[in-house]
Amino acid sequence: MKHKKTAVIGDPIDHSLSPKIHNHWIEREGVDSDTYQKINVKKENFDEDVGRLIEEGYSGLNVTVPLKEDAYKYCHKTSVVAGTLKAVNTLIVNEDGVYGENTDPAGFQKSIVNRNLGSKQCLVLGAGGSARAVVFALKQMRCEIGIFNRTREKVELLCDDLGVEATILTESSLNEFVGSSSLVVNTTSLGQQKNEANNLINFNNLKPSTHVYDLIYNPSKTTFLQRAEKNGCTVQNGLEMLINQAAQSFNLWHNKIPAIDKDLMLALGVK
């Protein structure tokens, strides 16, 4: 039998951490797999390139920005989560065709599982693809959700698509909501550039008991998290979500839940 072939596809893909994570597990968990690859696929070539990869024997693909919607359209069958989000981050190729899953919501939920946030008030900043995954997870956790985005129409669309009843916040209603939230999650790309400010909220309104989460993991502590920490808040970056969504994909392909432990953090260069 041939070794399993897996990879992540996206554009750009050079800086993806997924190969480090998966290759650590491939070695540690003793699964029968080739080295996990990263492959640049341009949006306009999606069908052609993915078709070729499948012909080459790839049976597991992670899909990242900007290809998750293309991957959704490509699948013969999808999970309920992927179907609701209309976005796929994990392709599984078998004799029945191509199956699409989205492990991002579960990755997010697992990353905050110990924080006791069920049914609490949570604020989401942004309404793009990542916000959809976060809102999906918070809905599962029965949280009371508020969403703020520069472009309000995208929040309305998100709520309609996901069947979520959330408070759609405006610049004037946002900061009162900040003050009564147990969780604030930044899903916007603000802060991705080193020292780039994210001043969407008034940090003085944050309660010290609020957990502040930024999905950005590089830089590892955005100015958004630094400001929140100054207010006494606990903070978290997006690395645990990345690792947990990867673990779910790994399990789908190799039927094994991989260890998330100190060795993995060492392999990723995280103390």
Q: If DSSP codes are grouped into helix, strand and coil, which group holds residue 119?
A: coil
By residue count, the chain amounts to 271
Binding residues among 112-131 for ligand ATR as defined by CB under 6 A: 126-131
User: Which residue is closest to ligand ATR by CB?
Assistant: 128
Among 102, 149, 182, 245, binds ligand ATR (CB under 6 A): 149
DSSP 109: H
Q: For 167-171, which contacts have Cβ atoms below 8 Å and span 24 or more sequence positions?
A: 169/123
Tell me the C-alpha to C-alpha distance, in Å, between residue 150 and each of 170, 188, 265. Answer: 9, 10, 35
CA dihedral (79, 61, 113, 206) positive or negative: negative
Tell me if 48 sits within 8 A of 9, measured CB to CB.
no
Q: In terms of CB distance, is 24 or 214 closer to ligand ATR? A: 214
Q: In terms of CB distance, is 17 or 265 closer to ligand ATR? A: 17
Each residue 164-203 as x (binds ligand ATR by CB under 6 A) or -, in order, gives: -----------------------xxxx-------------
Each residue 45-84 as x (binds ligand ATR by CB under 6 A) or -, in order, gives: --------------------x-------------------
Surface-to-core class of residue 139, CB atoms within 10 Å of its CB (0-12 exposed, 13-18 middle, 19+ buried): middle
Smallest separation (angstroms) from ligand ATR to the CB of 176: 20
154 is catalytic: no
Q: In terms of CB distance, is 142 or 150 closer to ligand ATR? A: 150
Active site amino acids: 68
Per CB under 6 A, residues contacting ligand ATR are 65, 126-131, 149-151, 154, 187-190
